[in-house]
Amino acid sequence: MSRMMGPRGTAWKAASVITEALRNFVALPSSADRDLALDLDILRLRSRQLFQNNTFSRAMIESFTTNVVGTGCKCRPNVRMPDRLGMTQEEAEKWAKNTQSLFELWANSKNCDAEKKNTFAQLQHLAFKSAKIGGDSFGLACYDKNSPFGLCIKILESERCQNPFGVMDSDALLHGVETNKNGTPAAYYFTSKPAWSIDSYTDNVDTVRVPAFDALGTPNVIHILSVDRTDQRRGVPLLAPLIMQLKQLERYQDAELMAAVVSACVTAVVTSNDDEEADDLSGMTGIGGGGDAEQQVDSYGNEVPARRNELELSMKPGGIWSLPNKFKADLLNPARPNVNYQPFVESIFSEAGAATGASYEVILKNFHTSNYNSVRAAVLESRKTFNRMREDFISDFCQPIYEKWLAQAVLVGEIEAPGFFDDPMKRALWCGCRWISDAAFLLDPLRETQAIKMQIDEQLMDRDTACAMVNGGEYDVITDQLAKELNMRKAKGLGEPGSVTKTESFSVSTDDTNESSLN
C-alpha cells in the first residue's frame, strides 16, 4: 500500500527546516568520539584556565571534590558467602579486620604514591579533581620494591594520554586509547613526560604503550571518567558546557568591579587660562596628590628641561589635577555598585549549577538568604549528584586499586586467600569491600538526628546506616569502642555519664512562617 509523503518536517515541529525559529538551527550527525576528536584539547586548556583564574569555576570544582571525596573513602573488606570460601562467619570477620589493618597501613603511608607525595586519601582527591578539570584522569599501577607490598599508584592528567606523535586518530586508536572491536580498552599510550614541560616546550614527546589489563584481568590503567554516550573513550571537562557563559560572566564582573573602583575615585580637575598658574597648580598635592614634573635625560645621559605629563592622568581617591589651556574634563559618576548586579549574576550561577547537578547555594556556600526548608532542599538535591558521583568514583578508582593491592598482598604472602589466583569466582568473593565516605552535612543536627532516631525506633532504619549518616562511622566499631570505654570506667570506679533511652517523638513544624532566615 502506498502512502502519501508530506513535506519534510510536518510530523514533528522540532524537525522542521522551514520555520523561522529553526531555519538556522543546524545539527550535524557525529559519533561520540568524533565530537571530541578535534575539540577536546582546547576544552581542556580553557577549563584549566577557568579553574585557575575564575572564582565560580574554582568554587564549583572544589565543592564537588569536597562533597564527593572529602577526607577520602575508607576501605572496609567484606567477605561475601564465606561458606563458599571454606570459612565460618567469625573467621571471615577476623580475616576482614586483618586485611583492613594491612590496607590502612599501606593507604596511610605516602609510599602508596609513586611520587611519594600523597596518601591514598590525597590520591583520591587529586584523581577526582583532575578528572573534573580535564575530563578524565588516570591511575597507573607501578611497583617499587622499597614500598610496602610493592604497589604504588601514579596519577596522570588527561593530557598525558595521547597518540604517538604523528599518528592520526582512527576508530582503533583515539586520543591515546586503543580499543578492540567491542569497544573495550586494549591499551593506553602515555607520554614519557608531560608535554610542554620546562626542558622541552613541545608536544612532540615519546609515548609508551601500556596494556589495559594484566593476566588476571585486573586493570593496569585505572581510568576515571564519566561518559554521556556509548562508545565514548574520553571524558569531557565538567565546565565544558559552561565555558562560554562563565567567561562572559567573568568579563562582566571585571567591568562592574572596575566601574565601582572608578566610582570610588572622585577626582577634581582644575582648568586655568594662565600657563604659569597651571604650572603652580600642578604641584598641588591635594587629598590624593597631584601631578609631579617628570625629569628626563637624552640618549647621552644629559638632563633635558622637565615637562609635565599632563594628559596621562590616573584615577585615585581625592586626586586634584591641573590641565593645560583649552582642556576641560568633567567628573565621572558611574553610579556603582549596580543594584541589579547580584540578582543578575545569581541567575547565571543558578543555571550553571543546575547544569552540573548542584545548587549554586551549595557551590558558593551561600545560605544566608534562604529559610531552613529552602536550604535543606538545595542541600538534598545536590547530595543526590554527589552520591552518584561518589559511587562512580569508587567503582572507577577505589575498588580497582583495592583489588590490585589485595592481589599483590596475597602474592607476597601477607594475606592468605586460598583460590585467589585459580578461581575467578573466589577472587571476586575475596575482593568484596564496602567503602565508607564522610558523613553528610547536617543542616540542623538536633532536628535531623531526632528524625533518624524516630526511624530507628520504628524499625525503618538500622543503626549501622544511622551511624554512617550522622558521623560516617560503623556501628560495630562504635559498639566495640563503647564497650572498651565502659570497662575502663568500671575499672576506675566512674559512674555512667548517661543512659541511652528512647525519647518522646516530637513534631517538627515545616511552616515557613514559623522559621527564621538562616543568618
pLDDT in tens, 19-69: 888 888 888 888 999 988 889 999 999 999 999 999 999 999 999 999 999
Q: What's the predicted TM-score (pTM) here?
A: 0.82
The whole-chain average pLDDT of the chain stands at 84
- What would you report as the CA-atom Rg of the chain, rounded to the nearest whole angstrom? 32
Q: Name the least confident of 75-84, 233-242, 252-261, 295-304.
A: 295-304
Report d(CA 108, CA 243) in Å as an integer: 37
Given this model, what pLDDT does residue 373 score?
Answer: 84
> Is pLDDT of 240 > 50?
yes
pLDDT in tens, 448-478: 888 899 999 999 988 888 888 888 778 888 8
Q: Name the least confident of 207-216, 236-245, 371-380.
A: 371-380
Given this model, what pLDDT does residue 517 score?
Answer: 42
Mean pLDDT of the 132-137 span: 96
Q: pLDDT band at 265, cuts 50/70/90? A: confident
Q: Which helix (H) or strand (E) holds 484?
A: helix 475-491
Q: In the numeric block, which cell numbers belong to residue 112?
A: 602508596
Q: Which is it for strands 221-225 and 177-179: parallel, antiparallel or unpaired? A: unpaired
Q: pLDDT band at 268, cuts 50/70/90? A: low
pLDDT in tens, 345-396: 999 999 999 999 999 999 998 887 778 888 888 888 999 999 999 999 999 9
pLDDT in tens, 138-177: 999 999 888 788 999 999 999 999 999 889 999 999 999 9
Domain boundaries, the chain: 28-239+342-435, 439-495
Given this model, what pLDDT does residue 375 score?
Answer: 86
Given this model, what pLDDT does residue 505 score?
Answer: 47
Residue with the three cell numbers 577549563: 47
| Residues 484, 337 contacting (CB under 8 angstroms) | no
Given this model, what pLDDT does residue 96 score?
Answer: 94
**CB-count exposure of residue 164 (10 Å: 0-12, 13-18, 19+):** middle
Alpha helical stretches, state H, 365-419: 372-393, 399-411
Neighbouring residues of 307: CB distance < 8 A, sequence distance ≥ 6: 293, 294, 296
> Is pLDDT of 292 > 90?
no
Given this model, what pLDDT does residue 319 score?
Answer: 64
Given this model, what pLDDT does residue 166 score?
Answer: 86
Given this model, what pLDDT does residue 337 score?
Answer: 78
Given this model, what pLDDT does residue 290 score?
Answer: 43
How many alpha carbons fall within 13 Å on the CB side of residue 98?
Answer: 12
Q: pLDDT band at 259, cuts 50/70/90? A: confident
Q: In the numeric block, which cell numbers belong to residue 136?
A: 578524565
Given this model, what pLDDT does residue 329 score?
Answer: 64
